[in-house]
Structure 1
Amino acid sequence: MSEIQFDALLPYTLLAASSMVIILLIAFRLSHTVIQVVGFLLLCLVIAALLKVRSSLPIAILPLFQIDGFALLFTGLIIFCVSIIGLLSYIYFEEREENPKEYYILLFLATLGAAILTISRHFISLFIGVELLSVSLYALIGYLRTRNNAVEAGMKYLVLAALSSAFLLFGMALIYMDAGTMEFAAIAQKISGHPATSPLVIMGAGIMIVAIGFKLALVPFHLWAADVYQGAPTPVTLFIATVSKIGVFAVLVRFALAIDLQHYPQASTVFSILAIASMIVGNVLALRQQNIKRLLAYSSIAHFGYLLVAFLTGGGAGVEAAFFYLLAYSITLLSAFGVVTLLSTRQRDAEDLTTYRGLFRKDPLMAAVLTVALFSLAGIPLTAGFPAKFFVLTAGVRLHLWPPVITLVLTSVIGLYYYLRVISVLFEGSPHLEIKERTLHPFFYTATYATLAALLLLLCLLGVFPGSIVEGIRAYLLI
């Protein structure tokens, strides 16, 4: 490996080293506060490393990795999300009696797995990233083993994730049997010369779609999502909803670009069906939910159906629309789950809708953050969700993807109902929120409130001034 290649890997090397640093801090019996602060500083170092390597890209580290502007965008979004999740995790776990220190080891390892997926250009690195992410999530989901049905949720994810990994491996094996290579670009070159693609490649790709569909919770591979979202600790639920899916979606996009997926009508048809089914089923199942974590789980199924519309268009415009949508979606969920985390008590999470009745009178800032987040998920103008959906619709219309586009519009109307239902609860009746005992130093609550206020501002800025963000995305994708 050359010095330039080693430097390009610096952000990912730092992520790998971060988990070892946390292990050493635990071995020296340092406090949760010290571990939290050091973890945040390590993430800042990773961001600085991402900025440092930008000028030397793109760099291929054959045969496994491709570090370019695409990877930097997705990795940067992952680190941003993990930074906020880490801050929310401190309050969430410090208020409970369980020892939270080992949680940060698992969090950094899962983050490393997601980051590896963003630079993967080979089936081996893809599988390593998926497994590192999944194995860490098994433990994270069941971390609070005595509450929230965490063990049940962890076991459900363990069994289904292991099954999806088997599908992923078998699909890779079938493609390797025909192509004789596991590198994305080489596979594309091998199959591009065949007018009729080999049955082995078709079977392998189909089986891999099952595994990817599970990781992204697409219909009909979505049955784990609501139970896992509800049973996992709220920061872990947020990690699954954002970081985990960002990593998997990034490697899916890179593979699709490598093989030029739009030239294969069968694949486009399959993804169109998955998108339509996810949009319909996700929105319909969310209609009657009284648990906000389950509601957001079904909502996320629908939103990744929307995201597939941009994915189907391919090319630069499709990737720009998809990344902007992921950015808006991630900030929105960070805001919504941040409110859930702050309102959760030592005994239970704030997940029942009745908990939020009259929240505006009790805590106007939290009510405002949750309201704007739900408006953004619904795609209301002046929030980030509106330009995000507009860019996805524009990309779909440009390629005449009429069935997914029409479904997106119609199901977005359905989504308005359950988002507005939650918002109406925030402003009706007298407050039902129980008084939460504040056991930590006021600084930590102030910092978390300030972070949520900043996320609220970001949602509005993305909704009003999306153009500069899109230009920045385009500049990175050209690297």
Structure 2
Amino acid sequence: MNSSQLWALTPLLLATATVVAVMLTIAVKRHHRLCALVAVIGTNLALFSVLPAVFGGNTEAIAVTGLMQIDSAARFGMALVLATTLGVLTLCHAYFEGFKKNREEIYLLISLGTLGALTLACASHASTLLLGVELLSLPMVAGVAYAFDDRRSIEGGLKYLILSGGASAALLFGIALVYAQIGSLDIGAMANAIVGASADQPLVLAGTAMMLSGLAFKLSLVPFHQWTPDVYEAAPTPVTAYMATVSKLGVFIVMLRLFHADSGAAASPFILSAVVVIAVASMLVGSVLALRQNNLKRLLAYSSIAHFGYLAIVLVVPGEASLRSAGVYLATYLVTSLGVFGVMALVSSPMSDRDQEDIADYRGLFWRRPYLTSILTAMLLSLAGIPLTAGFIGKFAVIAVGTNSAQWLLVGSLIVSSAISIYYYLRVLSGLFSAVDKGSERVSESLGWAQSAGGIMLLLAMIAMLWMGVYPQPLFELSGQLALH
């Protein structure tokens, strides 16, 4: 391994060192704040090691042992993964401060999952893909069941373990079928096989279908979405935030590599038809089922199903414009989702018997926590795609790709789904500003939350969200690095 390859791997090496450092810290002395500090410092170092290449526009592709390729897309993906992970870690300290059992292992689990997401961002071989998927998924099984004295958490962890295992098995079998046809485990070769798949290549079609089902499970796409509401509800709020953002980000980058071949051509019509059906179903099913939810976590779970249905449009349309739009949408979705779950985490902090997750818990929140309510309001408006927010820019970018390629079914479904989503977001918003009970006095909010790392992160997330919505040009320029060919 030469120096350029070693330097390119620096973010992964630092992420690995962070895992080891947190593990040793727990072994030497259990201290919640110290473990949080070690995890945050390690993640910051990994992030700072990749940012110069991202903002410097480094487009050099460096192959590492045939298993990884550190290109501009990998660097952009790693930057998003590390920045979002840092946001989740800052929420964990305040949230788990009230947890009565061991609190330190949560930082180890999140650090391990982050290493898996980074591996997926750089994967160029099927073995690296499988390693990244398992390294990302298995720690989250323990993360969902972290409150092990809560029956609901144990149930959620078991559901995720069993169903995730089935999805991984389908992914592995699909890879084996494609390999039997083309004789290569290189992701680029698989992508080219997906482009040329036809009726006389049943192994490639069947293998791609199984790979698509396995990856669609990780992204909560219909009909592989059933686990999402239950697991989101069962997990501690920071873990839910991680699963809604970082876990899906790493998998989606792999999907982009598989569906955007080096030739720049679209996938086989057989496969594209399946993706279109999955995308339309995810948009409509996610939005319709969110209408009847009284639990905010479950509502956001169905909302995430719809959002990745929107994002699936870029899998259907080849070209650099599509990839740039994917980068824009991912960035806007990550910062917005992190903001929503961040407010939920701080409202629920320190962790007690249960999270503040019912919509009724947020009724009249403005009169108790006006500053947090302002952030939550802005983030929900962004999820709804209201102009001057990041969410509007993300949806606009995806709609532009769909209209330019005449994907009218997908664009129409996105518009209908977005219209439905406005109702259930406004339903939450109306409760935030509802009048308090007669005789109740307005409670002034202490700004102690804003002095915590989680509070500072929320303020930065809201500023970033508004900046993306008002002045998105730099984001479009940075997202151009997601080009894979």
Interval containing the TM-score (normalised by the shorter chain): over 0.9
What does residue 129 of structure 2 align with? 126
Aligned counterparts of 2:459 and 2:408: Cα–Cα separation in 1: 38
Distance 1:237 1:332, change over 3 A: same
1:451 paired with 2:457, answer yes
Measure the CA separation in 1 of the matches of 2:412 and 2:113: 36
CA positional deviation for 1:258: 2.5
SS in 2 for 1:262: coil
**Shift of residue 114 of structure 1?**
0.8
Seen in structure 2, the aligned counterparts of structure 1 residues 95 and 445 have a Cα distance that, compared at 3 Å, is farther
Against the structure 1 CA distance between its residues 261 and 107, is the aligned structure 2 distance closer, same or farther, given a 3 Å change threshold? farther
Residue equivalent to 2:325? 321
**Partner Cα separation in structure 2 for residue 248 and residue 468 of structure 1:** 25
- Give, in whole Å, the separation in 1 of the partners of 2:151 and 2:296: 14
Distance 1:304 1:56, change over 3 A: closer
Q: Which deviates more, 185-194 or 172-181? A: 185-194
Q: Please give the alpha-carbon distance, in whole angstroms, between the structure 2 residues aligned to 1:49 and 1:286.
A: 40
Tell me, in whole angstroms, the C-alpha distance in 1 between the residues paired with 2:196 and 2:368: 65
Aligned to 1:199, which of 202, 206, 209? 202
- SS of the residue corresponding to residue 60 of structure 1 reads strand
Task: Measure the CA separation in 2 of the matches of 1:133 and 1:265.
Answer: 31
Give the AA of the match of 1:253: L
**Partner of 1:25 in structure 2?**
25
> For residues 77 and 194 of structure 1, do their structure 2 counterparts lie closer, same or farther at Cα, with a shift above 3 Å needed?
closer
Deviation, structure 1 residue 263: 4.2
Quote the residue 2:361 is aligned against.
Answer: 355
Deviations, residues 131-183 of structure 1 (Å, cap 9, x unaligned) = 11111111111011112711000000000000011101110111111111110
Q: 2:233 is aligned with what amino acid?
A: Q
2:247 to 244, 247, 254: 244
Report if aligned partners of 1:261, 1:267 keep a CA contact under 8 Å in 2: no
Other structure's SS at 2:260 match: helix
Match of 2:215 in 1: 212
Q: 1:60 aligns with which of 60, 63, 82?
A: 63
The match for 2:430 is 424
| TM-score when normalising by structure 1 | 0.95
Deviation at 1:354, TM superposition (A): 0.8
Q: Quick one: which amino acid aligns to residue 224 of structure 1?
A: W
In percent, how many aligned pairs have the same letter?
41
The number of residue pairs the alignment matches comes to: 477
Residues 179 and 98 of structure 1: CA distance in aligned 2, closer, same or farther (over 3 Å): same
Check 1:194–1:244 CA distance in 2 against 1; reply closer, same or farther (3 A cut).
closer
Residues 193 and 398 from structure 1, CA distance in 2 versus in 1: closer, same or farther, beyond 3 angstroms?
closer
Specify which of 358, 381, 391 is matched with residue 375 of structure 1.
381
Superposed displacement of residue 406, structure 1 = 0.5
Query: 1:404: which partner in 2?
Result: 410
CA contact (8 A) 2:195 2:267 kept: no
Q: Is 1:179–1:191's contact at 8 Å kept on the other side of the alignment? A: no
- The 1:464–1:188 alpha-carbon spacing in structure 2 relative to 1, beyond 3 Å, is closer
What CA deviation, in whole Å up to 9, does each residue of 1:424-461 have, x standing for no partner?
A: 000112179999x99xx958854322321221121111
Which among 446, 449, 464 is matched to residue 470 of structure 2?
464
Q: Distance in 1 between matches of 2:449 and 2:340?
A: 21
Change (3 A) 1:197 1:444: farther
Residues 156 and 86 (structure 1 numbering): CA distance in 2 closer, same or farther, change over 3 Å?
A: same
Equivalents in 1 of 2:140, 2:176: separation in Å?
25
Secondary structure in 2 aligned to 1:218? coil
**Cα deviation, residue 62, structure 1:** 3.6
Task: Between 260-269 and 115-124, report the one with greater CA deviation.
Answer: 260-269
| Worse-superposed segment, 1-10 or 277-286 | 1-10
Pairing partner for 1:386 from 385, 392, 408: 392
> For residues 366-404 of structure 1, what are the alpha-carbon distances to aligned partners after superposition, in whole Å with 9 as ceiling and x for unaligned?
111111111001100111111110110000000110101
Are 2:6 and 1:14 aligned? no
- Find the aligned partners of 1:445 and 1:188 in 2 and give their Cα distance: 48
Judge conservation of contact 1:91–1:444 (CA < 8 Å) in 2: no
Aligned twin of 1:110: 113
SS of equivalent to 2:69: strand
What CA distance in whole angstroms lies between the structure 1 residues aligned with 2:406 and 2:39? 46
**TM-superposed deviation, 1:185:** 2.4
Measured in 2, the distance between the counterparts of 1:408 and 1:159 equals 32
Cα distance change of structure 1 residues 472 and 112 upon mapping to structure 2, 3 Å threshold: same
C-alpha displacement of 1:221: 0.5
Distance 1:389 1:49 in 2: 31
Q: Which amino acid aligns with 1:240?
A: M
Aligned positions of 1:55-204 closer than 5 A: 55=58, 57-147=60-150, 149-188=152-191, 198-204=201-207
Q: Can you give the 5+ residue segments of structure 1 that lack an aligned partner in the other structure?
A: none
Separation in 2 of the partners of 1:279 and 1:372? Answer: 22
1:45 aligns to what? 45
Q: What is the letter of the counterpart of residue 412 of structure 1?
A: S
Indicate the SS of the match to 1:258.
Answer: coil
Amino acid at match of 2:40: F
The residue type equivalent to 1:417 in the other structure is Y
Tell me how far apart the structure 2 counterparts of residues 297 and 194 of structure 1 sit (CA, whole Å).
34
CA root-mean-square deviation: 2.4
Q: Structure 1: how far apart are the matches of 2:176 and 2:72? A: 30
Gaps of 5+ in 2: none
- Segment drifting more, 93-102 vs 445-454: 445-454
Partner of 1:277: 281
* Matched-pair contact (CA < 8 Å) for 1:8–1:56: no
The CA deviation at 1:94 is 1.2
Q: Secondary structure at the match of 2:245?
A: helix
Structure 2 CA distance, aligned partners of 1:463 and 1:16? 35
Native 8 Å contact 1:112 1:133 kept in 2: yes
Q: Secondary structure at the match of 1:330?
A: helix
After superposition, the C-alpha distances for 1:302-339 in whole angstroms (9 at most, x for unaligned) are: 00000011232222111111111111111111111111
Give 1:96 deviation, angstroms. 1.4
The separation in 1 between residues aligned to 2:376 and 2:184, in whole angstroms, is 48
Aligned to 1:267: 271
SS of 1:95's equivalent?
Answer: coil
Contact persistence 2:450–2:456 (CA under 8 A): no
Shift of residue 261 of structure 1? 6.0
